[in-house]
Structure 1
Amino acid sequence: MAEELQGGGLPPVAEFVAWLVELKVRSGDPTLEQLSRLTGKVPRGRQVPKSTLGKALQGRSLPSVDVAAAVAQACVLYAGGTSNAMSAIRQECLNRWILAKSSDQVAKINRNAAEEPLTDSQRRAELQQRSEAEEEFLAKYYPCMMASLDRMEIFGITLRQQDFSYRMSTSYISLSAVEHRSTSRYQPQVPTPASNKESDSGPLRVEDAIAHSRRVLIRGDAGSGKTTLLKWIAVGSMKSTLPAPMAMWNRAVPFFVPLRHFARELPAPEQFLDYAARTLAAAAPQNFVRNTLDSGHAILLIDGVDELPNSRRGEVRDWLRELTSSYETCRYVITSRQAAIDSAWLADLGFLSLELTPMSLSDQNLFILHWHETMRSAVSDEQERVRLQAHEEALLRSMAERRELRRLGSNPLLCALLCALHWDREMHLPSDRLKLFEAALEMLLVRRDQQRNIVGDGDVVRLSSGVQELVLRKLAYWMIRNDLTEVSVEQMAERVGSYLRETPDNTLDPAAVTQHLVIRTGLLRAPALGRVDFVHRTFQEYLAADQVLNDDDLNFLIKHAHEDQWQDVVVMASGRARDSERNHLVKGLLKRARRDKAHRVRLIVLAVDCAGSAPSLAADLRREAQARAQELIPPQDRDQAEALACLGEVALDQMPAPGSGLQPYEVEAILHACRLVGGAAAMRVLAGYGMYFNRSIERQLIEMWRDFDFGEYARVVLSALSEISGLTVDAELLPHLSGLTNLIRLQIDGPVPSYEVIAQLESLHELTLIDPAPELHGLSAPSTLRVLSIIGRVEPESFQRLLLPSIERLHAEVGGGDPSFPSWRLVAGMPEATRRSITEITTDSPLFEIDAEHISSEFPALDILSVRPDYISNIDQVAFLLKRLKECTSLTYFRISVADAEDLGNQIAQSIFVHWTSVTTFDGPGRRCEATFTRRM
């Protein structure tokens, strides 16, 4: 028992969990349901299921660091704590967790706990398929993979302190994705049956979107987080910490295969270890990789189809066809830029095609909070921490107020650039994408070393910023021309030497300059021993665009503009060009589009994109570009929509009227173009489509709300919908609902100063309040309201004053853990005028709190009673309540939803009740018991 005592105290696991439980109690003792909701609202949070929370607070095993941190912050949030308080408790939680994790006993408990989700038959099958040697190898392989993949770079933080590292698994921010059915970017749309099928589902969190598919193709723009997503899946599967939707992916064996590392020849299965676990590859048991693939326990994470030359895409597809036919039961996730392949590229192999969507304002806010929190953890000066807090708050305000910034920070890379430049330039931000990269290069190549006093260091290569930029431009252009995304150190030194001979620094050692560029500029990195690439391909394309202009190589660019690796270079070169150069480029693109039928649409889109964003352009070229844009109306996909949006309101005036035979994908593209143009003209077009009502248009219009002026958009666009089936708002949006007499269902997340506007919603049928303001100030309802759900702690007096005579269904989880006022007692104390019309009640009260004897008098119309208690110890409690409920003659159904403790579900299924028949099902993680009792007639 020595390991249990450890200095006379509790064992580390029990001590850590006791601290969590004490924190929960001190914070007001929220229920598991309330904690579960709040874990999805804290910084870096992701909603943790109640069953997981229950296990975390029982003390049998150490919860994952993500779960523990989410619980700790949720407790502080429940108690009304500030973001600083949540940050402080997170750090304390991490410190305590690390101490607990260090014990061998914890490791043993966690190994046992990790096996719990597997059934005996699954575990036996797994053990039969893995030899002892393979198990021993996995014990080494997982730590090696995590050391390689479980780390992140966030622009502006890693640059500031290169040896600062932090775990990707605790820093990852969830992405959103949509199933994308259109064809290749810049290519004509070929409608398919799937393309004509409307979907009622909007963007999903990517873990929800991929959870139930074994084969997924993920496409996204540069900087959208594709590679980070793959690393997150790999680390989460090894640590068994992937969220509930992806529970079946836990405990699988990931193989991370970045295709740029296999530029010469695509890897055989034996080479899947060569990137992240190269040092272990030789020690792998014979046929380890193939055996793992055969077993179906593998996740093959293939990154960067776009980083191989276009001429090899067919080879990649054949390679994937061979892999998927040989190892059908494995999971595959493949990434690429949209420009490289179309969404149907792997459709015949059964791949679900997803497209990562731009970050929403809430995603951007979460990223900004995370960036500044991470930056604060990297500095020790208290004054600098205070400044960081001020910068964080100022940037959040700017993002809310400036639509161009929200558009600029559309993906993690660009959002990180905004954070870094906002800090570096004392809150002064560029207004467009090219200026953003220009400012970033200045920060990296000039100001960074000046601020760190590196220029005068005698051990550092003295290389002027102009020469640095020249070398990097030439290197970037040479790499793209040769379809290279990374090079060997020797190759780079050879190129650097040739570039230096053109400069006054021609006496410098190329190898030393190469090392200087990798270490000091922040634009290059060493992804593997002896290899060099750009920290992000977008920087490579920006520098290459400058070099094209410097070399007067626009004819080459026009000739190759249809190739996907040159498209972003074309647009960046147009933005950086002088007037005569831009005229030459746009003229060349339009000329090619007239004669090159195979690539006509792609070239028109590029020409329109260049013309639309050009500060100046010859009048005849601008007119021709606008005329050619007519060929893109109606737009066939989001890329054509983005090109048209560059023309501004002129493009909106030429959009077809709604209801004129448009396909759903064309309507989606038109709405996207309006979103990008913005302003009053865009709202008028959107309102017209709102009148042409369907659920898909409704969903898209609601998603756009935060991109416009809140009040004006609600008045002009949302009110034009014949019906709004459902809307979720917060304190920021709620005041703007007053004119929406077409709103049917409303959910309000979080506290708001007043609920008075709800009474003005003349068609409102269903209202849900999640974690409301406890005093419920001003809450009353129109006569149309029939369903009310309130989930969160409320003031008893305020709740019991609610006069809602039309309510028929009431869902009340409002006790907040206060034993003096359980939910049932609060519901029973509502005014008689409210209670007498209620036919269905859902509550989270313990069974013993339900006053069965007075139900008939308190709720004369009650037909269905549903309870969701945190815990029931045995079936006797259920049987006792059922016996008391027999006198409630109006009650037809009694339902219970509870964790299946002590095999409760089977006990119910095997029992016979005198007055009730029962049906029991099990749902969700942790085997939740759902039982329905029907009165015998």
Structure 2
Amino acid sequence: MDDAGITVAVLHGRLTPDHFPDSAVPAQRKLYDFCGGKDLTWAFIEAVADVCTPDDAPAQRQKIERVRPLWEAAQANPTPVGQEARGTGRELIEAKDRVIAAYQQIDRLRQAQADSDQARVRAEHLVTLLLSMLGQLFTKIGDLTQDRNRLLAELGPGAAALTAVEDRLREAKGHRASTQEALRRAEYERDEALRVADEARRVARRLQDELDRLRAGGNGPDDTLAAASEEPDGFDTAGIPAAPDPDEMFLDDYAAALRKAQTVLDTGSDALQAAEEQIAEASADLPPNPGNVIRGTMLSRTTPNNPLTSEESEFEDRYRAYLTQRHGELTIFGMDFGDRRHARWSLDQSYVSLEVTNAAPGPVDQVERVEQALAGRQRTVVMGDAGSGKTTLLQWLAINAARGSLPSLLEHLNGNVPFVLPLRSLVSSSSFPRPEGLLAAVGCPLAGAQPEGWARRVFENGRALVLVDGVDEIAPEQRPLAQRWLEDTLAAYPRGCYVVTTRSSAVPLHWLDGVGFRHLVLRPMSALDVESSIALWHVAARAEADEHERQALVSLERSVLDAVRQEQNLAALATTPLLCSMICALNRDRRGVLPREVMSLYEAALSMLLVRRDVERRIDAVEGIRIAQRESVQLLQTLAYWLLRNNRSETSAETAARLLQPALVAMPALSGRGDPRQVLQHLLIRSGLLREPAFGRLEFIHRAFQDYLGARAAVEAADFGLLGSSATQEQWENVIRMAIGHARPRERAELLSALVSRGDHEEPHREQLHRLAFSCLKYATELDPGVLELVRQRAPDRDR
């Protein structure tokens, strides 16, 4: 059972009547006796072997063969128990009883944690729904107030219609007070559920340590506690009214929904109380806290929030002003600008709300704005590719929470104290810091001015907004330590709000599920989001420009928007906030030439994503490997060209590693830097160009990057025959356009001439090939005039 990681409770659930001669599964308590040697039967031994090695007959036989001689010897010649042995036996029995009791307590704690997590999910749903209901109700109160004022002016006091509206207005205001009270209860129950679940997890960990001690170093069962993921029952989210008319129907439906919410809150409160009793019972006999958990105040239901002292209030004002100044600007790292001011712009004016979906795939992926996904939640992991907006989201949360200007969905965070924590800064010290050391760890110049005990009290009182950025930016061996630090911090300070960001490939999809985190993935921007991002970037740029440049920026904005709408490869590049901003900033810096130089944009994007962005942000060799830009491009070209030649958009990680092997052998500079799998993992996590659509599968973040790199590889290999013969296949058309951009003038002329000639001789494909040749001209920076005229003569009239 130890080898299989199976507890007695799990064993009991897997046993069937067929395992026993009397077709009856013994009670769980009897199984504990069997495991302790009391009344042990051969049928039970065979049953354990079957459960621990299902579908593995050889393993079962091997275990049975090891046990049978001991069993037969014990049955034939039981060893007499002497006086000394009796004393030892009593000690063994007592130790066995303690082990059994520990197992039982751990099972009960698992159930307590599951109940608490279910109560948390229920409360989070309620918080979100109640916030939505309040929004509807405020709208209705506003409408009724306008109706009352209009009727008062038209009909005067005492009119029947006016009285009816005033009655409904009083009823609506009564519902407002009740809803606000229910919202406070739901938020409190959510906080309590997190606290109770964390406490259950902490006590279970201590019990497991105690169990390991009792078993003298034996391998105990897996102590990982799985969080409950069931949807809350008893509350139909579709039952919330959507402000129907007439007003009376709205108020009746609203009252019914509010009563239902209050019933669910009562149910959750009872479940939490029961879970707390289980934890109290389990922890009663434990020795004092061993001290390996961050010490903090576990707030009870009656602990009031201590008011701020004048010194703390003054410091928080200074700290909030610092946060707004420090994180109120966005910067592009890894780009060359003639004017460095073009690399910075205001976050306030350029922030774009992004779409997210659940990290774990489901039958239907729920797509929502990130503000909606964060509403009412205290623990969230936001995952995304390079440049997808993770850090920007944390900056936006920090400065708006500091100023109290978050939108209504996130109003519960207004006034909280943000702690913006790049993990790469925290791991630079010998251990992860406690609350009082966080500001110093991230280099905040106000760290020395914070009042003694201030940070701890902020965490204890649930006012901390903990924004942990860049799990992918620390070494793989440090990520489990970061996870343990987070879990310990949550156990000590469960009432704050925690948001963690990481690139998707750096951690499992359910990395922090066990401590109540919801995992979200940022989606690529839609066409509408791209246009909004471009427009807002130019708004921010105009805000700090002089009058002359403000006029120029209007024209620049229009040129970028037109180019993104018309140019396929430019649209393919502008799928993340970072790349959108890069396009806008370079277009401004180079005075509007970029929409016509798509190849230059891709070259700039590769330089930024592959090396320079990490270097300028002081992220170095995170995966234990340092690869230069040229080397990274060469390796990525190898993957891209193989995918193109095999008409694939993705491949397995195993195949990709095999493809990199000969490339690495041919690159002396990478000798000893790591095996193909390590290099591939580095490219996946740090390059920003690869992603995992599913476990063990790899693809480029966008087909356009695959086309760009594949075309470059084809030109370097002089595979112009392959390019020409593939020109009638739709998936190769963009590759050929980019190959024209990569090729030298003579090669460019030969490929275009071949396309025209083939079109002249193949009537079924004539128009397609001539149109393709003409579309390649914008990628040709230099071209023989004769070939240029040849292509133009064949172009369809509408393309001239």
Greater fraction of residues in helix: 2
Greater fraction of residues in strand: 1
TM-score (norm 1): 0.37
Determine which structure has greater relative contact order: mean sequence separation of CA pairs < 8 Å that are 6+ residues apart, divided by chain length. Answer: 2
TM-score (norm 2): 0.42
